Amino acid sequence: MKGAPALSLYVEREEPRDVGRSGARRVEDALREALRVLESALRSDPNLALEAKTWLIDTIASLRGVEPATAAACFLGAPGGGAAGGRPTPLSRAAERQLLALACDVRAPRVAALLAPSASLLRGLFSRSDALIAAWFGGFGTGGLASFRRGAWALAGFSLARRDDAWRHLVWAGRHPQAPVAVAAKPHYFSELDVVATVRNLLRDCPEFWESHEVRRSLEGGEWLALDPAYIAEELQERLHRGGAWREDILRELSALPTCVGWRALCQRVAPLMGEGELLAVLRTLGARHFAPAGGLRGWARGGGGGGEGGAAVGAGGAGPERDAPLALAGVEWRDARDALLANALACHAGRLRRVLAGDAAARPQLQRVAALAAALHGGGGGGGEGGSDADGGAAQRAFLRRVDPASPRQRLLLLLNAWTLRLHLVDRCAGEGAAACLAPLLTRLGWQWQRQGDGGGGGDGGRPRPSPSQRDGGGDGEAERSARSLGLGAEAARLPHRRRDEAAAPAMPPSPALEQQQQQQQEEEEEEEEGRSPKREQQRERREPLSRGEAPGGASKRRRSRSNSSGHRSRGRSRSSSRGSSRSRSRSKARDGSRSSSSSGKHKRRRSSRKEKKAKRKKGKRRHRRSPSLMSIGGTSSDDAGGRGSDGRAGEARAGGGGSFAATAPGGARTEGGPDEIVDAAVQWACREWVRALV
């Protein structure tokens, strides 16, 4: 089966040739080497490790159909260090505080009703800052008690109801204190209170205020929980660990969170603050309660085809990590958090992992090493994309796929790495050979239906080929010819950049005589305009001056002559009057005139030299233009359009290489739309699904 695409090895049921254990061992050794390279990159870069953790959280949060009971077991199983839900690892203090803060956000009235009877908590809260006092108790209005808001209503109501005891604690900021009778008649006088000083007095000398009915009623809505969320969460955490009735009440509110906020919000708020052990506990809980009831990895394989759920169309990147999450998380119990992070990155964030490694200068050599191993594993040295080498026809890869155990964490990691290196190799082929040329035989062999869409990056033909590094260094004539054909040009146009160094090239096509005469005339006019003696410009100036004054065209020259005569008479009169002056002033004027004349002559010389240089450059460019006509005269496309802007055409290569938009439908009916990367992702995922289905 020489030349078979490596992806088909996951699908075809042909028995592997007898290559012994050595063939599978060779594949496994190469994968272990690639695994060591990726693990070293993950360990050496803390930012990459943090990003991999973020990817795992995204994958977990994207899971659909997680039951509230499963969510409670993942995040609420043992808050406070106990074992209430059977969760083996308690939450960290930071994750626990975040969970309690989330409860304050989404269940504010219930949490407020739980905390409002605690006068010590309220006094501790408002003792922390004068700003908190002003924000809560400064809501006095001008429309009576009904217009007072929050703590202002409680303060006014308590002061009027218990005026005999409370009025002495009030501090007035006006010119004189207000009497209770006057304030009862005109409640807007409360706006003259010094709120901060008054509340400070109540904190120190009036504990009855904080236990009053007015204060508890003002706290019912729960808005006060947002005054200082960190302090409230710390107080809740302290009472949670204190045990007793407080613990039971707080756990009751926390247990309702999965129903109130949903699985995704719960993961995004709490999981980033969890440690490695806590994340492993979440993965084990999901494996036992979410994936196992659905059949684990085999249930995922029976779920259907690759691009999305239920055969729905999936756009570029529209599938999301939830599509491949079972491939990394189902049917395996991860013991090392770094293995779980890497497995998730390989299975669910393959493109992002490659982009991050390529964008990091320190990790780029490691990516190149893995790409070389991928070419050795899947390239086969001939034809590209072959399963193993040409010598064994993919038998070594088949033997490895038959021997791998997906239930083993290390074997699952090698399986995912094998699929990721295959994706890496196919994406590189799409970039080097053109997306259509690479994907057409691959999808046809897999039994997919596919078609090109739009113009993408390559004019709707799957993208023009992108030169490989060796071709950019001077050996890319064949690639250039294919690029020219994709533009609608002939092979002659593709060889134009190489005419000067290719002696055997055909002679250039001369431009037409009319075009040459027009270009010559335009060049002469430009030269005359630069020298300031363009006849056309002189004629326009002569017409413009008389017409602007309403005169005949012939009167302009007469007026100029009369002006010159009158200016001459005036200059002679000035010279006679100046001769009566001292000889010293005449010598100064002569010196100034001499310096002006010398500077003006120097400027004219510099202008003439610059004009000569520009003229020489234009003539040189004209001779080059006559020797090598532009692409416009051959195929109707400019050289900028064909080769891209810039001296080396890199921008054109970036636009043309490996682009295009496709729509592909798997045999199961799932449809995927997008660029080559999305199609390759869907094909690899579908092939892995078929491989798992064959194990059942």
End residue of a domain, out of 220, 248, 275: 275
Q: Return the number of other C-beta atoms located less than 10 Å from residue 507's C-beta.
A: 7
End residue of a domain, out of 275, 296, 317: 275
Q: Tell whether 560 is covered by a domain.
A: no
Handedness of CA 208, 209, 211, 217 (dihedral sign): positive
Give strand pairing partners of 452: 662
Residues 227 and 125 sit within 8 Å (Cβ to Cβ): yes
CA distance 235 to 302: 49
Two structure tokens written together for 524 = 């002469």
Q: Based on the number of CB atoms within 10 Å of its own CB, is 146 exposed (0-12), middle (13-18) or buried (19 or more)?
A: exposed
Residues 15 and 320 sit within 8 Å (Cβ to Cβ): no
Give strand pairing partners of 644: none
Q: Tell whether 641 is covered by a domain.
A: no
* Weakest mean pLDDT among 123-127, 217-221, 591-595, 668-672: 591-595
Q: Tell whether 40 is covered by a domain.
A: yes
Q: Are residue 45 and residue 98 in the same domain, yes or no?
A: no
Q: 149-174, pLDDT tens digit by residue?
A: 899 999 999 999 999 888 999 999 87
Q: Are residue 674 and residue 690 in the same domain, yes or no?
A: yes
Q: Tell whether 173 is covered by a domain.
A: yes
Q: Are residue 124 and residue 240 in the same domain, yes or no?
A: yes
Report the alpha-carbon angle 418-422-424, nearest 5: 115
448 pLDDT tier (thresholds 50, 70, 90): confident
CA distance 63 to 291: 10
Q: Are residue 282 and residue 200 in the same domain, yes or no?
A: no
Two structure tokens written together for 301 = 């394989």
Q: Tell whether 599 is covered by a domain.
A: no
Q: Are residue 145 and residue 55 in the same domain, yes or no?
A: no
Q: Are residue 414 and residue 394 in the same domain, yes or no?
A: yes
Q: Tell whether 123 is covered by a domain.
A: yes
Residues 310 and 668 sit within 8 Å (Cβ to Cβ): no
End residue of a domain, out of 228, 248, 275: 275
Q: 176-223, pLDDT tens digit by residue?
A: 888 888 888 888 889 889 999 999 999 999 999 999 999 999 999 999
Question: Taking the model in full, what pTM does it have?
Answer: 0.65
Q: Are residue 292 and residue 435 in the same domain, yes or no?
A: yes
CA distance readout (Å), 56 to 97, 101, 276, 487: 22, 23, 11, 43
Span 237-260, average pLDDT: 89
Task: Residue 315: give the domain boundaries.
Answer: 1-64+276-463+657-696
CA distance 387 to 400: 12
Q: Return the number of other C-beta atoms located less than 10 Å from residue 661's C-beta.
A: 24
Q: Are residue 243 and residue 149 in the same domain, yes or no?
A: yes
Helix (H, G, I), strand (E, B) or coil at 653: helix
Q: Are residue 203 and residue 122 in the same domain, yes or no?
A: yes
Q: To 10 degrees, what angle do helices 151-161 and 130-137 make? A: 80
| Residue that has been written with the tokens 């090698």 in this structure | 414
Q: Are residue 255 and residue 298 in the same domain, yes or no?
A: no
Q: Which residues, 6+ apart, have CB-to-CB distance to 192 below 8 Å?
A: 172, 173, 174, 178
Give strand pairing partners of 572: none
Residue 629: the pLDDT is: 36
pLDDT at residue 494 is higher than 70: no
Q: Are residue 387 and residue 442 in the same domain, yes or no?
A: yes
Span 686-691, average pLDDT: 79
CA distance 426 to 684: 10
Two structure tokens written together for 329 = 């998380």
CA distance 581 to 564: 26
Q: Are residue 80 and residue 7 in the same domain, yes or no?
A: no
CA neighbor of 309 nearest in space, from 322, 290, 291: 322
Residues 676 and 439 sit within 8 Å (Cβ to Cβ): yes
Overall domain count for the chain: 2
Span 395-409, average pLDDT: 85
Q: 548-601, pLDDT tens digit by residue?
A: 444 444 554 444 454 455 445 444 444 444 444 444 555 555 555 555 555 555
Q: To 10 degrees, what angle do helices 435-446 and 676-695 make? A: 20
Q: Tell whether 53 is covered by a domain.
A: yes
Q: Tell whether 510 is covered by a domain.
A: no
